[in-house]
Amino acid sequence: MKVRSGIGLAVAGVLWSVSAGAMVVNANVPAPGDAFTNAGPVNQGQAIGTSGWYYNNVRNGGTVGINTALPRDGNGSARFDSLDGADKADIEFLPNALNLGGNFVSAGVLGAFSQLGSMSYEWYRSASSTTDAHLHPVLRVLLDADGDLTTTGDRGGLVFERVYIEASGWTAPTNTWVSETITDSTYLWNFGLGLGFAANINSTAYAYDATLAEWKASLPNAVIIGFSSGVGSGWNGTFTGAVDNIAWNIAEQGVTYNFEVTAAAVPQPGSLALLAAAMLGWIGARRRRPVL
d(CA 246, CA 123): 9
Q: Has residue 87 got a pLDDT over 80? A: yes
Looking at residue 13, its amino acid is G
Spatial neighbors of 73 by CB under 8 A, at least 6 apart, are 244, 245, 258
Question: Quick one: pLDDT at residue 265?
Answer: 72
Provide the domain limits for residue 40: 2-266
In a domain, residue 284? The reply is no
What does the mean pLDDT of the chain come to? 89
Instruction: Phi first, then psi: give them for residue 41, nearest 5 degrees.
Output: -85, -5
d(CA 82, CA 27): 20
In a domain, residue 283? The reply is no
* Alpha helices by DSSP H, the chain: 212-218, 269-288
d(CA 191, CA 199): 8
Question: Quick one: pLDDT at residue 205?
Answer: 87
Beta strand segments in 135-232, E: 138-144, 155-160, 177-182, 189-192, 223-232
In a domain, residue 279? The reply is no
In a domain, residue 273? The reply is no
CA 238 distance to own-chain centroid: 19
Q: Has residue 274 got a pLDDT over 60? A: no
In a domain, residue 292? The reply is no
pLDDT, average across residues 151-170:
94
In a domain, residue 289? The reply is no
Question: Quick one: pLDDT at residue 22?
Answer: 86
The model's confidence at residue 4, banded by pLDDT at 50, 70 and 90, is very low
Domain count, the chain: 1
- Where is average pLDDT lowest: 226-230, 250-254, 274-278, 287-291? 287-291
In a domain, residue 149? The reply is yes
In a domain, residue 262? The reply is yes
Question: Quick one: pLDDT at residue 285?
Answer: 43
Spatial neighbors of 83 by CB under 8 A, at least 6 apart, are 60, 61, 62, 238
pLDDT, average across residues 260-288:
60
Contact 24, 37 (CB under 8 A): no
SS3 135: coil
Spatial neighbors of 172 by CB under 8 A, at least 6 apart, are 125, 133, 134, 135, 136, 162, 163, 178
